[in-house]
Structure 1
Amino acid sequence: MKIVRTTYLSLGSNLGNKLQNLQGAIDEINQDIGHVTKVSSVYKTKSWGFEGEDFYNICLEVSSSLSPEKMIQAVINIENKLGRIRDAGPSYINRIIDIDILLFDDEIIFYNDLKVPHPAMLQRKFVLVPLTEIAPNVMHPITKKTILICLQQCQDSQHIEKIAHQLIRPISLVEKYNYIAIEGNIGSGKTSLAKRIGDDYNAKLVLERFADNPFLPKFYKDEDRYAFPLEMSFLADRYHQLTDGLSQFDLFKNFIVSDYYIFKSLIFAQVTLPKEEYSLYRKMFDIMYKEISKPDVYVFLYQNTERLIENIKRRGRDYEQNIQADYLDKIHKGYISFIKSKEELNTLILDVSELDFVNNEADYRKILKDILAFEPSSD
């Protein structure tokens, strides 16, 4: 599990549409650095150390799993993305956006050009006033005084004015969802995605225990003989795991992420079982399904068959190496038929055939953005 730390950032802008610049920075920080938990009011001040347009300044509280080294690089990337131009001239110049790391938990950091706490923060009212608004009782790790006391003792006489406009704090997956189910065909990457989201957002993970099923290797060698015991054992295990996992919510976790949903049992049974056995299986399934909680969003990862086969071979499970394309196609058709028949299930279909959300950060962030932007039905 990644360690999540609280960091405080100072943002300023004095070029172009300053409010838009600040809002854009907030959104990028929420996406690339961590969950923005607090946003201060906007404060206007005269430019500091040079003649220029007035600055709009804010402070943010952010929960992030990034290290200081990765955080400073993410800050620079965001500034560049929003159009900040860097040169070797004077340090105080007009800026579309300026982002400073003020505090990183209670740590004292000297890393190349990164110094935390920010060396000049105690001399700047345009930093201390918005920071006091959102973190008055946070302790400065060097002075051992609260931010409120630091403001009261600040010698800066610069006038600072709060403006009426309030910027928008983006919501996160933690706030929007209580339960996310991630599904997909064999080799689609559902477990990898569930684990990464769970790690990044401190979620309770409910992962399928397929490796413990003694019938699975036997099924791939003799489908006709072992299909029914395999599907029944999976159904029983999934039922117990989901009912236990969803009912016993962990107070120390933010929400729940699973790499399957109970309907997976029905989809695979439709493909593997003959008509008579499926009829019996369906009766058992219907009894169990009534007691399973519905996810807030059901994410289906679509991978084309060629990519699925590549992924299956790459992960190297012996009992999967003989899976044929036509079997994967049948599973896919079963999922699509199920999704079309269950309009009440809040389904988000994501085509990830050209994405590598395990190794490519941008691809992973795109998926998170799509999940966050999804609007579930209110029914």
Structure 2
Amino acid sequence: MSEPRGRSTQRHATATDVARLAGVSQSAVSRAFTPGASIARETRARVEDAARALGYRPNAIARSLTTRRSRIIGVAAAYLQNHFYPDVLEALSKGLQARGYHLLLFTPDAARDADPLLQEVLAWQVDALILASTTLSSALAGQCRAAGIPVLLFNRTSRHADVSSVTGENLRGGRLIAEFLVAGGHKRLAFIAGIENSSTSRDREAGFTGWLAEHGHAPPLREVGLYDFEAASAAARRLLARSDRPDAIFVANDHMATAVSEVARHEFGLRIPRDLSLVGFDDTGPARWPSFSLTSFAQPLHPMVDAAVAMVCEMIEDPAAPTRHQVVPGELVVRGSARIPPEGCVSRGDALVWRPVQETVV
């Protein structure tokens, strides 16, 4: 009886076939196709030559059944319209691939916690979960822990002390921005927050308002932009329509700051920075565009990603590894969107950065 049309009768080469042709053990074949595994260069070359001759391709699914590892890291990121997170995803993907892992993206609702992800995470049998722009509930933390899935917060912190995290200097960044604006002679300050339950927005605001209070300045006006372009535009309209309109606005991230800039210039006819100074946070690509030239606190993306990759791999290899909270230092990059104080700004390469007197290293 003839074979059904369209179905190949050719048998796929197996690791056993490759081992036999290369004259090595089956475990040597496995090591040859495992990134970072210890194997002699000559042995790897023989295995690769045999694999090419036989048309062999490693079966990642079959390997995961043997090793009980999928080599997949789940990453939950909700704010992809914010330029910071696409850059983070690209860097994470490259960093994880260099360690033999692959990234699987989940996109939860930005305004909710990540609990609805749980069944998807479990179904894909990810080796770890990185929450890059969503909140962590106690339920998700506990269920991931019970399932043996390490969880790392990126650019987020949690009230759960036993969940590791990597962040930038949100608190210090807010303080430096307050000092910078006051040094520039501003009297009527305002802050546009992100999402209220976001640790990044809370910490940036706490640093900003804390420094002002400590130095005898009035609390800033406040609006909420929800990390959303349209919501930030509406927040800017409310602030700029006031009789006591602010002369400087700190916006909780660059994505919202670009919205504020558009409203200020094109709807209110304000000149930046003569009529209004703007400062953002993240130092994303648009901050460097001449049309915005945004003063912004730089989140050191690559050092943050390097720390996250190292930490999540450590948690996978050693489930008993202690919880860590790593804060990666950044700096306030000064551009044309804010009035420059007479003192305190120094050149760093091709950038101008704010270095107040007490932080200047002699």
Q: TM-score, normalised by structure 2?
A: 0.27
Q: TM-score, normalised by structure 1?
A: 0.26
Higher relative contact order (CA 8 A, sep 6+): 1
